[in-house]
Every structure is written in structure tokens, then in C-alpha cells.
Amino acid sequence: MSTGVHSKAAPAGNQHPDGPRLLADVGGTNARFALETAPGEIGQIRVYPGADYPGIAEVMQQYLKDTKVGRVNHAAVAIANPVDGDHVAMTNHDWSFSIEATRRALGFDTLLVVNDFTALAMALPGLTDAQRVQVGGGARRQNSVIGLLGPGTGLGVSGLIPADDRWIALGSEGGHATFAPTNEDEDLVLRYARRKFPSHVSFERVSAGPGLEVIYRAFAERDGVAVAEPFTSADVTKRAHDGEALALEAVNCFCGILGTFSGNIAVTLGALGGIYIGGGVVLKLGELFHKSPFRERFEAKGRFQQYLSGIPTYVITAEYPAFLGVSAILAEQLSNRANSGSSAVFERIRQMRDALTPAERRVADLALNHPRSIINDPIIDIARKADVSQPTVIRFCRSLGCTGLSDFKLKLATGLTGTIPVSHSQVHLGDTATDFGAKVLDNTVSAILQLREHLNFDNVERAIDILNGARRIEFYGLGNSNIVAQDAHYKFFRFGIPTIAYGDLYMQAASAALLGKGDVIVAVSKSGRAPELLRVLEVAMQQGATVVAITSSNTPLAKRATVALETDHIEIRESQLSMISRILHLVIIDILAVGVAIRRAAPQAGAKLNETVAKVREAGDEEAGAVLDWLSHGASGAARE
């Protein structure tokens, strides 16, 4: 079952140009969805019980089906769970999913998943007085840190830090801090809770929604009162509203603990901008909360009581505040993309679209509406989807100032950092070929893009200069790295430089002892810690040889080498072969080989190819000319990339 609440439609001129955006607030019990058609215009709100669906993808598909919205390009989810990397396994629910796999399954260009209280925190600066109620005294200071907590199925914690003209939201799991009682009643609750949760009693166990039941049962056991089954926190709330003494005692204890915890957050963060309380539990308590010891316990910090008395506390009364926050995070993400190199490409496409030929306009529309088709697909598929020839795709890319299709793809990919995977997706037993194949490719793409962002290109230039002027080059690699060394030997011997590769320590030691000034060793090692290899390189450097290292950062090899090209990456299972590191090392070898080739022969080759292009165009074959033109300009661009 779902319920809908609809807002009025936004004026057509203010609507998002990229279509409606899907917003979600996923808790341990319910998943709430909405569509944002324009900034601040949020409607089509529906609520789905999480227990009715096997996973987040299925409930999102149901919502899209129910609303008949059509294509959605961008979506953002606030979830009651820590979010660290691609894989999310919910703490208070049995859903487990990959963010990137879910994005692919639903066909989104963007899928952001953030902690729900991080999203709620981002909504706080925009709340009006009608969307919050102050509890107790204090006055908030402008441009000061804001704290946030919320007892629901769990106990969420977050905060906002002001930074110039924006806010930075803190991701936190502070609700799992160890519960510390402050009086005899709470000592009793702790003893009871320890029997129920012997490994750890956190504040979440006693001051989130289910904590009401724990406290009530502890007091009932003390008084010898039998508790009928089933019995939940909702029953405690109802009995308290009905005036039952035991339930009122439990509610007051609950609110006191929450007050202590709120004060802890306030002094920890220095939250002079106020403490906000979200979640549904406090709202359901209503006037009971305002009459409770909450505020008294919030200020009860001994020498810091005066400090706490000046900090206001608020209950959030807005119906769906998480939507406001997750909308702000998504807008900021898309804005950052719009200010990146990718947005320059999108803006250029929009500006020049009307001046394009009808065929090129179809490529432009494909790039604007489905940028991932451009990034992921080969040219033959791009041409098919746009219903144009392959040379038309190339001409379109050139018209944007790109050197070719590969250059255009990278400019788009750079701006889509929120949607291209940037963390390692673990392959699991039972994955289909489609799943593990996509994960292997995604992990590799992610690693290469991260290498592109973090590689020290000044060191690359130094390494290319060293190799280009070398009297002799020897490539050393042990085990898996020997494959890279052999590949490098195959590429570099063509430059006319005496070159060889050794994968055996004995041969490396024997050869290194004969090297001298002008000779270069390229040492390839994932770990950068093999003591035997380090000793061999030390001998060669004492003889005057130069060492270029391709390895991980901050390793002994990186520190001792003349020049280090560092290739850090993520590989989770230590037992697996170093697939990604090997690919990154091969990429580095390709970069070095292309650099040496450009130093030696690129001007002559480019002149000959340009001459061929001119002759073909004179013969009237425009499409063949476009392909050759791409080769003459795009090849050098590909070399740089």
C-alpha cells in the first residue's frame, strides 16, 4: 500500500531542464519517495513499507510505475545507514545493494546515496518557524555549527559546519556511542539492557524508538508488572497519553536520556547554532516531550550548564524534511558537475545545436539526454543510436573543440564523477557474468580515472626525459610484475635503445652490477617492499644508474627511486591476483612509451598524415577525409590521454 500527497505543479518555465528528479528517504521501516519538478517543488509523495519489497531497486521501480513519470535522469536517496563506498548493507533492515548496479538497473544517469541524517542536516538552514518548535530557552547564533539527532528506528546523528556561503554536512554514527546512565533509574535500565544486548549497550538502544519499550520493560520487571505480548514502543506512547503511571515514568526516563545525549552532541560540536531533533518518535510524544525532563537534562553539564543554557533546542515539525536536504545535496552535486570541464561541453552543445546539421544535431541530443551512451559505447553503437554515420560522430566531437571521440568521452566522464563508480565493488559468489563482468570493468575504469586525477605528471615528464636520453634501459619485475616488464621491453626496443627485461632476481643482480651512468632501470612493483629488489637497485644506483619506479606511494621503492610514478588503488581481497595494479602499471608504461614516441617522431608522422588528408579531400571523399582527419588530430589526443 502507498499513500500520496501532491503539491501544486511548478510553472513550466521553472522546471528542471533535465526532467523531474527522484528523491527518496529510506528508513528501517518505510521508504518514502517524491518527485521534484523544479527547485522547491516536491510532489507525488508516496510511502512504501520496506518489508513488502526484496530490495531498494524493486521499490523504486514500483514507485516509478505507480507515478507513470517516464524517464528520470537524476535520483538521490537518503538512507538510514552509513554510506561508505559502493556497497550498502542496511543496519536496521535486510536490504543490501550496490549503488552503481542499482543505477544501471534503473537507467539513471545519476544516483546519489547519502546518510539520511546527512540529508536532514542539509535541510536545517531552510526550515521556517512553522517547520520547527523550540523547546526551552536559548537563542541560536548565525553562521554557527548546528547539531542534529533523531530517534526513529535508530538514533541518527549529524551536524552542519558553516563554510563561506555554504554548509558542510557531517556524516556520523554517534548514536552508537556507549550509553552512560546518570541516575539510579538509568542504572536499572542499563542492567536490563545488558542482558538483552550483552556485547554493547549504545545510546541508540535506549533513546531510539525501540528504547521506549526497553525502558518500560525494565521498570515493569522492577515493579513485578507482567507485560502482555505483543508489546511495542507505540503501546508505551499510547499508554502514556492515556495517563498510565508506568508508561509516563518510562517516557520521562527516555526523554531525560535523550536530553543528556543531546547535550553531549552540543558540547562535542560546539553547536551554538542550535540542536535540532528529527525523527517520528518525539513528534508522537507531543506535549509529553515538552513537559519531560529533556531540557533540564540537556543543560545538566555541571560547569558547562550556562554554556548549554544559551543553546536552543528545536523539534522539527516539517512533514518530509529529508526530501529538502537530499534535494539540496543533489542540486549541489549537479551544480559542481555544471562548473566542471563537462559543463563547458554541455553548454557548448546547447549554444551550437541550432547551427549543426540535422545529423550532427541527433548526436548532440544523444549527448545531452544520454551522456553515458557517449561515455560507455563504442563509436559504432553511438552512430547507430543517433542514426548517423561514424564520421558524423567524429565531426561533431571536433566541432566542440575536442581532438576526437576519446577526448570528448573523457571530458564528459570528468564531469560525471557522481555517477561513474569511484570505489571498489566487491565480486561475490553467485554473481552472474553480467554482474561480475560489470564490476571488473567498473573497478578498472574507476582506478584509471583516479590515476588520471592523482598521477604526478611532473614526474612523468622527468621519467620520459630520462628514458628518451638513456644509453640502455632495463625493466625489472618480479612475479606478476614481470608481465608488465616484458610488455615494456616489447614497446621500448622499437625506439632503437638497447633494452631488456628481467623477471629473475639472479639475472637482475648480475646485470645491475654492470650498469653505469646513462643506464636506466624501470622497476615495477605493486608492494614496493621486496628487500632483494631494493638491494639490486641500490647496487645499480651506486654504479651511477638511474631508477624509475612504478609502484605504490610511500613504499621503500618509491622513496629510494630517482623518479617514482605512484599508482595507488583499491583491492580488497589479498588472495586475488593484482588485476587492477597490473592494468595501472601497463597504463603507465603506455604513457611513457607514447611520451618517448612523441619526443622522437611525432612531428614527421603528423605532417605525412596531414598531407594524405588533404589529398583525400581533394578527391571529394568527405567521410574518408573525416576519419583520416580524426587520426591526424585524435591520435595525438589519445596519446596524451
**Binding site as annotated, residues:** 24-29
Given a contact cutoff of 8 angstroms between Cβ atoms, the answer to whether 82 and 37 are in contact is no
Where b means 16+ CB within 10 Å and e means fewer, 469-500 reads ebebbbbbbbebbbbbbebbbebbeebebebe
- Bridge partners (DSSP) of residue 89 are 96
CA distance 272 to 269: 9
Residue 166 bridge partners (DSSP): 163
Starting at the edge strand that comes first in sequence, how are the strands of the sheet with 546-551 ordered?
Answer: 499-502, 472-477, 519-524, 546-551, 563-566
- The number of beta carbons lying within 10 Å of the beta carbon of residue 552 is 20
* Distant-in-sequence, close-in-space partners of 625: CB < 8 Å, separation ≥ 6: 613, 616, 617
User: What's the Rg (C-alpha) of the chain?
Assistant: 31
For residue 606 the three cell numbers come to 603528423
The C-alpha cell that represents 200 in the structure block: 554493547
Query: Is 557 in contact with 523 (CB distance < 8 Å)?
Result: yes
Give the 3-state DSSP-derived string for 210-270, with helices as H, strands as E and coil as C: HHHHHHHHHHHHHHCCCCCCCCCHHHHHHHHHCCCHHHHHHHHHHHHHHHHHHHHHHHHHC
Which residue type is seen at 206? V
Q: Which residues pair with 148 in a beta bridge?
A: 158, 276
Annotated binding-site residue numbers for ATP: 24-29
Q: How far apart (Å, rounded) are the C-alpha atoms in residues 225 and 220? A: 5
Q: Rounded to a whole number, what is the distance in angstroms from the first to the last CA of the chain?
A: 52
- Element containing residue 121 per DSSP (H, E): helix 116-123
| Cα 515–Cα 516–Cα 517 angle in degrees, nearest 5 | 145
Residue from 568, 588, 573 nearest 528 by CA: 568
User: CA–CA distance from 595 to each of 483, 631, 637, 640 (Å)?
Assistant: 21, 18, 12, 8
Dihedral pair phi/psi, residue 283, rounded to 5°: -60, -40
Q: Which of 3, 31, 323, 286 has its CA nearest to residue 153? A: 31
Query: With the C-alpha atoms ordered 54, 55, 60, 61, is the resulting torsion angle positive or negative?
Result: negative
φ/ψ (deg, to 5) at 458: -65, -40
Q: Calculate the CA 167 to chain-centre distance.
A: 18
Report how far residue 82's alpha carbon sits from residue 174's, in angstroms, rounded to the nearest whole number.
11
Write the CB contacts of 51 (distance below 8 Å, at least 6 apart in sequence). Answer: 29
Report the candidate in 493, 452, 442, 209 with the shortest Cα–Cα distance to residue 341: 452
DSSP classification of residue 516: -
A 10 A CB-CB count for 10 gives: 18
| Contact (Cβ atoms closer than 8 angstroms) between residue 476 and residue 508 | yes
Contact indicator for 581, 571 with CB cutoff of 8 Å: yes
